[in-house]
């Protein structure tokens, strides 16, 4: 049994998922599978909802921040008349307003990311690609990456999809894949079917990762 990339249900390896009808991305199947339909293509049911909300950390954290902010602000307004608590009321009100600003911003960032992914899958132009390498991320996070290449108008492109499940490590270099790319920005692409979920990265963790890399580079130069 494998996990369907579209509906996340467990399904037997086959060309098409028995649950949602989505083209299957099982690496044990030979070849790249059925070619994508011409745009605008339909995405299997439930996939868009999952990408927009259930598997979108920005949207989930944004929702929690916004709701907490509203509750805290409402609480501070209710306590406003109690004598001797003005400092607490002021602090809670400030915190509530901050959360009410941060929450919707995170929500908007998350939605923009998911719309971009959905647009690429629905309207992307088709190119033939092939897997060039796979590997495991360092740090024991059980996260794997896949690199693939494709050609658009004589120009070669390479792209790496990160934070994927362990099963992609079974992809052999040279295995053909269907690639969908943006007409005006051909370096922006994804595979069809998607080789698993590519989660949104919080900028903070990305930033810390970049800082760590920079420190390591500096250390290797001086050491």
Interaction site with Zn ion (CB under 5 A): 4, 6-7, 17, 19-20, 22
Kindly state the smallest distance separating residue 26's Cβ from Zn ion, in Å: 11
With respect to Zn ion, which residue has the nearer C-beta, 147 or 198?
198
Kindly state the smallest distance separating residue 46's Cβ from Zn ion, in Å: 8
**Closest to 25 measured CA to CA, from 57, 53, 47:** 47
With respect to Zn ion, which residue has the nearer C-beta, 47 or 181?
47
Kindly state the smallest distance separating residue 6's Cβ from Zn ion, in Å: 4
Kindly state the smallest distance separating residue 181's Cβ from Zn ion, in Å: 24
With respect to Zn ion, which residue has the nearer C-beta, 6 or 58?
6
CB-CB neighbours of 176 under 10 Å: 14
With respect to Zn ion, which residue has the nearer C-beta, 99 or 195?
195
Kindly state the smallest distance separating residue 36's Cβ from Zn ion, in Å: 16
With respect to Zn ion, which residue has the nearer C-beta, 4 or 99?
4
Sign of CA dihedral 130, 133, 134, 139: negative
């Amino acid at each position: 049994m494998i996990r369907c990339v579209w509906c996340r249900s467990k399904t037997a390896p086959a060309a098409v998922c028995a649950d949602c009808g989505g083209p299957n991305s099982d690496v044990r199947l030979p070849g790249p599978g059925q070619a994508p339909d011409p745009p605008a293509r339909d995405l299997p049911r439930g996939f868009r909802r999952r990408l927009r909300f259930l598997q979108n950390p920005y949207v989930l954290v944004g929702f929690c921040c916004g709701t907490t902010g509203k509750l805290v602000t409402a609480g501070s307004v209710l306590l406003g008349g109690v004598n001797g608590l003005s400092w607490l009321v002021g602090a809670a009100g400030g915190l509530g307003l901050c959360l009410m600003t941060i929450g919707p911003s995170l929500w908007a960032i998350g939605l923009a990311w998911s719309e971009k992914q959905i647009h690429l899958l629905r309207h992307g132009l088709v190119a033939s690609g092939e897997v060039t390498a796979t590997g495991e991320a360092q740090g024991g996070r059980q996260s794997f990456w896949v690199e693939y290449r494709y050609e658009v108008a004589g120009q070669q492109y390479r792209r790496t999809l990160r934070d994927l499940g362990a099963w992609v490590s079974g992809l052999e270099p040279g295995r053909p894949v269907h690639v969908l790319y943006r007409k005006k920005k051909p370096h922006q692409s994804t595979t069809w079917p998607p080789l698993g979920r590519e989660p949104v990265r919080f900028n903070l963790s990305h930033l810390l990762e970049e800082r760590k890399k920079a420190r390591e580079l500096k250390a290797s130069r001086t050491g």
